[in-house]
Amino acid sequence: METSMSTRTDERYPAYHRRSLQDREGFWAEQARLIDWETPFGRVCEHDHPPFANWFVGGKTNLCHNAVDRHVAGRGAQNALVWVSTEVGQERIISFAELQAEVQRMAAILQAQGVVQGDRVLIYMPMIPEAVFAMLACTRIGAIHSVVFGGFASVSLASRIDDAQPRVIVSADGGSRSGKAIPYKPLLDEAIRLAASKPEKVLLVDRGLAPMERVPGRDIDYAEARAAHLDAQVPCTWVESTHPSYTLYTSGTTGKPKGVQRDTGGYAVALASSMRDIFQGRPGETLFCTSDIGWVVGHSYIVYGPLISGMATILYEGLPTRPDASIWWRLVERFKVTTMFSSPTAVRVLKKFDVDAMRRHDTSSLRALFLAGEPLDEPTATWISGALGCPIIDNYWQTETGWPILALSNGVEKQRSKFGSPGLPAAGYDVKLIDEATGQDITAPHQKGVVAIEAPLPPGCLQTVWRDDERFVKTYWKSVPNRLVYSTFDWGVRDEDGYFFILGRTDDVINVAGHRLGTREIEESVSSHPAIAEVAVVGVADQLKGQVAIAFAVLKDPALAATPEGALKLEGEVMKRVDEQLGAVARPARVRFLAALPKTRSGKLLRRAIQAVCEGRDPGDLTTMDDPAALQALREAVQG
């Protein structure tokens, strides 16, 4: 086996990126040295049947080995997984050696239930260490895990069970939010009842949060099973580089869930490369990613990425505002976090609190705060940069790609940040701006086009849609006329320096009296008003203009709109600001002020649901909604 945690070329970034496209074989063969291989690969990239690409063909490796086992000899006593729960007031610090032992116990439990290489294991868990053990245990034995966000509603969970057809489901009695228990077991039992494909066994972690009834012969107590396998020795199963490591479901345009299928070798190499080039993580340091393991960011940069790089990773169960708005920064200080990864939404939540909550803790260990998940508006970036005093680095990617498409690769060459831009194409991504009508490349700066990627996609990106190659091709590769390119379904522009700016989804475009406007552009203008903490803009059907923009905003100080006169005055100020920045055509028809915006439990705005309420339509599936009261408040605001 060959391990190198420091391999890097000395090329400057433009040449580095150019080589990643023009000499894929040589470039990615070098990156592949960042991980261990049991069997060397024979071919770097097999792209014989576009758009399908296979990476490191013939090679055998193991994701769990690269994340855990290879570090035990040199840094076994070092922190690997740091679990902190402000929900239940507990924490657990686990070394690499201890993590290896726990993963082997979990792997032995799964094997005892008949799980073998290629079987699926569905993980429906809160943010607890056992969830990470289960993920790593699956990849250790060659099983394919499918993590579903904890607390997901039964109907949606059932559809994922039917698609993945898991042999075993790993779950818990419940999770917790704002100190309130959220029972999982009743939701899971109902999902299994609804699903046509029933799991053989259900492994349950009992946290003592919620009572649960066990189904005899099916349900297994994790604590009892663990006690029976305390001394388990389960070797890693070396799998082909192209062997699926996991599936992860993402939203689609149809009701059928869309399972993004990820490989093993390409994913490990991509994460190792991105941890070095983009996130600049180093062995022995600590990364704090505030996402959830139910989302792709949690897969890549809570679990696999940091561990592959020999870093400790913080698994946080709780809110950024509980017990107070300084909790994240307390963790940064205590664990000497060097790399932090969060979302613009989370920062906008913190923006409503006193900045002293951040400044009362020593955050000098932080080299950078990375933000992704949605476009980062300049006011939010400016605020957090000034408050935190470290670089704020945007990046842009998708569930499908598994790691950043656009970023700043400061590990290769120090690059200038531009607020509002996630940066430049990362290594391996041949990113284009394309005219949606003609399919032609847009090369002139500041012209809007669809952000697309030429084939082949780099290592780590989705191989296909689980059990649906036709859907993979039709969804991602056939939307641009006359071109076989991967569409991100996002609008973007590029400046003279090659920096990209994301303007929003291609299906979030408003057509106001023949003028096409991106909702993100209007949102950024509205949020630049000093009174605004957060905003969502949607296009609403209008008989005269086709569509008009409606803005819904959360104020830093709700008292400003506590009276009709105050709300009207503030609405006028916001409209005037948009007028001045974007022109009268972009001015929202109305600006409504709310205490909170409707969001999913992961913090993403439910823009389509907001639009539906405005148009008097059914808002659709709201099973992932965080607070139903926010939707009711929206309805009242619309009616008002």
Domain assignment of residue 554, yes or no: yes
pLDDT at site 382: 87
Q: How many domains does the chain have?
A: 1
Give the pLDDT confidence score for residue 537 in this predicted structure. Answer: 93
pLDDT of residue 155: 81
Query: For residue 581, is it within any domain?
Result: yes
Tokens of 161: 């069970």
Candidates 406, 404, 376; CA nearest to 391 is 376
In a domain, 567, yes or no: yes
Mean pLDDT of residues grouped by 10 in the chain (640 residues)?
Answer: 40 92 98 98 97 98 98 97 98 98 98 98 98 98 95 84 97 94 95 96 98 96 98 98 96 70 98 98 97 94 98 97 94 98 88 84 96 82 89 94 98 92 97 94 95 98 97 94 93 96 76 70 89 92 81 94 94 91 83 90 80 85 72 82
Q: Is residue 331 part of a domain?
A: no
Give the model's pLDDT for residue 1. Answer: 39
CA 61/CA 241 separation, integer angstroms: 6
- CATH code, domain carrying 567: 3.30.300.30
Query: Vertex 581, ends 577 and 583: CA angle to 5°?
Result: 95
3-state helix, strand, coil in the chain (%, to 5): 35, 25, 40
Print the domain residue range for 539: 508-639
Task: Establish if 602 belongs to a structural domain.
Answer: yes
Q: Does the residue 5 lie in any domain?
A: no
Residues in Cβ contact with 126 at an 8 Å cutoff, skipping those fewer than 6 apart: 150, 151, 172, 174, 175, 176, 182, 184, 207, 317
pLDDT of residue 255: 53
Instruction: Identify the burial level of 320 via C-beta atoms within 10 angstroms of its C-beta, where 0-12 means exposed, 13-18 middle and 19 or more buried.
Output: buried
**Is 528 a domain residue?**
yes
Q: Is residue 568 one of the residues assigned to a domain? A: yes
